[in-house]
Amino acid sequence: MIGCWGAVVVLTASALAALAAGRHGRAPSVIAAAGAVIAAGLALPSAIGSLAGAAPVELAVAWAPPIDELRIGIDPLSAFFIVPLVLLGAICGIYGAVYLDDQRTRRWLAVPACFYNLLVAAMLLVLISRDAIGFIVAWEVMTLTSYFLVAFDHTQPEVRRAGWVYLIASHLGVACVLSSFLLLGDGGFGFADIYAHPLGGASAVVAAVLALVGFGVKAGIVPLHVWLPEAHAAAPSHVSALMSGVMIKLGIYGILRTITFVGPAVPWGPILLGLGVVGALVGISLALYQRDIKRALAYSSVENIGIVLIGLGVGLWAAANGYPAIAALGLCGGLFHIWNHVIMKGLMFLGAGSLLHGAGTRDLDQMGGLVKRMPRTSALVILGTVAISALPPLNGFASEWLIYLGLTRGGIDAGPGSGLLLLFAVAAMATVGVLAVMCFVRIVGMALLGRARSDAAAQAHESGKGLVGPMAVLAVAAIAMPFLLPVLVGALAPVIEQLTGARFEAGIASDALGPLAILGIVLWVAIIVAFVAIRRLVRRRQVADTWGCGYLAPTPRMQYSGASFAEGIHRLLPRLLRARIVAQPSTELFPSPKDMQADRQDPFTRAAYEPLLDRGARRFGQLRWVQQGLLHLYILYVVLAVVVVIAIVSIRDYWVLP
């Protein structure tokens, strides 16, 4: 516990030190990165201790009234999230110091370095807060610091817009979280008080729904995900990695924390399962046709949050209905998928950053042929896409596998109604799986394979050790996780017992993971042997041009583009989820050049939020006469407001209540 508090102090101090370290030079970035690494070293032992079964700890810090004291503490649920937070925080911190280094002469790099460490500190505070007030304050600091990081390239209008969308969405979310805590904190705002005075009946349901909406915005639950593609694309890549890797998971943390507050008064299992299936399908469908690699990765995060929710949902459903084995499989799968997604999405965003660094673009149709120019980055990105497509033998498959087993076992054991729904959820997840393969083959094919699609890509340069090293660490983790999971199941036991209140049988999940480890070894060995053998088979070879089916002068622009690759599946998507394509028809015999525009804006923004907010803005515009810019008028408003409040309170106290 002291370790985590020390980590917060180190992070804040290094953030301020970075700010003070001067305008030019490497010092600010180095100080911040060192701070992030030291913080990880401080926080890890206590988090790991808590997962290993140490008793929950709580500390109280005296604070100015009206708060009086702030309580911090660590329990298995927060420790589960602290581990990936500080590890990815350190890795992305090192990467970020190198990543932004080429802007040293133009920008004051102490600012992003400072906000980065403050962001990590705020997220750590969110996780160790043990009362609602500290939690909300830390949550808000997390939102604001990440806003400043998202808006780093604020000279570009689309970045400003992305930051704006993010800020609005986050604050609508935080309003819901705040209201939820106001309901929950009936008997005091400390978490201990909330546990001691559990809500019942309708107010529990209202608090749960508010929390689900508020935390759902942060987690990127469809249809509250609209800020994700904007913000993740705009932010510097190491920040995208941290946001997508850990920050959106804090939304999940919030939901899980609420589940421990509210308990079984709300049917959490079916709700999370339903949201998960919708989120996974919608997320991957939208990822399929993006041109911007980071937008595609952001939508893939929406998908993966959906898969996490499917796992948690089936686990909670099973725990509530008396299937402990299925609960173990589902919850283990969902929780492990959180860790695995941290690894693979971190790898993918850092990889996208390296590609952006080398080729100077995020546009898939302007890349191409980068395997030759950037061999190390490309190999790591290919590994990352295999992992995130949830293919064996890498880590994404391991956690999805547990979820599959839980869902299928539930579908077999449950009665007709829920059994059928669970089995259809399996089919939905399988569909998400093939769509993910298509999505990531498209990204690899367009960005890395074939011939360079632009001059910038043809001139791309490999990134240095500072960028490739952090990616390699994550890649090793992605390779090792399937073999480590059977051991790590034990670490989940306290988390799951805290969530369900029942004893957790670790044996079921680790037994299920056994064959997977063997499958992993078989696949690795066989693929390496087959690859070496095939290289020997093609020893006698000539080199020639790609077969052009008789056409002799192909150019790189004639390659299949990202849009053409996705065209077939795009046509099969529901109308709501498609991009809006405006093309001039070609009718004359000798066609002249035509314009084609594809609007890949988020369909939910386009169809729902923008019209709604536009209408709201018009309505509120009619109230503009209230703002006259005169000080005495505003004083009058304040006086009127106070009078009205006093009037309401007096009426209530003297006439209504007695």
Partner 1 sequence: MTITDVAEAIGKVIVILAFPPFLLGVIARTKARVAGRDGPPLLQPYYDLVKLVAKDSVLSRTTTWVFLAGPAVALVAALVAAALVPIGSGRALWAFDGDFIALAYVLGLARYFTMAAALDTGSSFEGMGAAREATFACLAEPAFILGLLVLARATGSLSLSGFLGPAIVHVWSVGAASLVLVAAGLLLVLLAENSRIPVDDPNTHLELTMIHEVMILDHGGPLLGVILYGSSIKLFVFASLLVRIVIPLDHPAWLVWATFLAGLVAVAVVIGVIESAMARLRMPYVPALLLSGCLFCALALVLLVR
The smaller minimum CB distance to partner 1, of residues 27 and 371, is found at 371
CB of 529 to partner 1, least distance (A): 8
Q: How far apart are CA 205 and CA 185, in angstroms?
A: 14
Give me the DSSP letters along 591-646.
Answer: PPP--EEEE-S-HHIIIIIHHHHHHHHHHHHTTGGG----HHHHHHHHHHHHHHHH
The smaller minimum CB distance to partner 1, of residues 70 and 402, is found at 402
Query: Which DSSP letter does residue 247 get?
Result: I
The smaller minimum CB distance to partner 1, of residues 23 and 372, is found at 372
CA-CA-CA-CA torsion sign (21, 151, 224, 328): negative
Q: How far apart are CA 99 and CA 351, in angstroms?
A: 11
State the residue for tokens 């990165």: 33
The smaller minimum CB distance to partner 1, of residues 239 and 439, is found at 439
Residue 233: what residue type?
A
User: Within 13 Å of residue 526, how many CA atoms lie on the same side as its CB?
Assistant: 8
CB of 564 to partner 1, least distance (A): 7
Structural contact between residues 581 and 598, judged by C-beta atoms closer than 8 angstroms: yes
The smaller minimum CB distance to partner 1, of residues 211 and 426, is found at 426
Dihedral, 125, 126, 132, 133 alpha carbons, nearest 10: 50
CB of 428 to partner 1, least distance (A): 8
CB of 352 to partner 1, least distance (A): 18
- Cβ neighbours of 646 (radius 10 Å): 10
Q: How far apart are CA 156 and CA 143, in angstroms?
A: 21
Token code pair at residue 466: 């500072």
CB of 450 to partner 1, least distance (A): 3
The smaller minimum CB distance to partner 1, of residues 522 and 648, is found at 522
Could you give the angle at which helices 110-128 and 76-99 cross, rounded to 10 degrees?
Answer: 170
CB of 348 to partner 1, least distance (A): 15
The smaller minimum CB distance to partner 1, of residues 53 and 375, is found at 375
CB of 507 to partner 1, least distance (A): 13
Structural contact between residues 117 and 85, judged by C-beta atoms closer than 8 angstroms: no
Q: Which residues touch 41 (CB under 8 Å, ≥6 apart)? A: none
The smaller minimum CB distance to partner 1, of residues 434 and 636, is found at 434
CB of 531 to partner 1, least distance (A): 4
Q: How far apart are the first and last CA of the chain?
A: 49
Structural contact between residues 483 and 355, judged by C-beta atoms closer than 8 angstroms: no
CB of 338 to partner 1, least distance (A): 20
The smaller minimum CB distance to partner 1, of residues 37 and 428, is found at 428
The smaller minimum CB distance to partner 1, of residues 42 and 429, is found at 429
The smaller minimum CB distance to partner 1, of residues 261 and 401, is found at 401
CB of 272 to partner 1, least distance (A): 21
Could you give the angle at which helices 27-51 and 465-500 cross, rounded to 10 degrees?
Answer: 30
State the residue for tokens 């980071």: 294
Q: Please state, in angstroms and as integers, the Cα–Cα distance from residue 600 to each residue in 159, 161, 360, 576, following that order.
A: 16, 15, 21, 12
CB of 512 to partner 1, least distance (A): 7
CB of 519 to partner 1, least distance (A): 6
Q: How far apart are CA 400 and CA 398, in angstroms?
A: 6
The smaller minimum CB distance to partner 1, of residues 200 and 515, is found at 515
Token code pair at residue 274: 């339903």
H helices of 360-415, in order, are: 370-373, 375-388, 395-413
Q: How far apart are CA 498 and CA 75, in angstroms?
A: 9
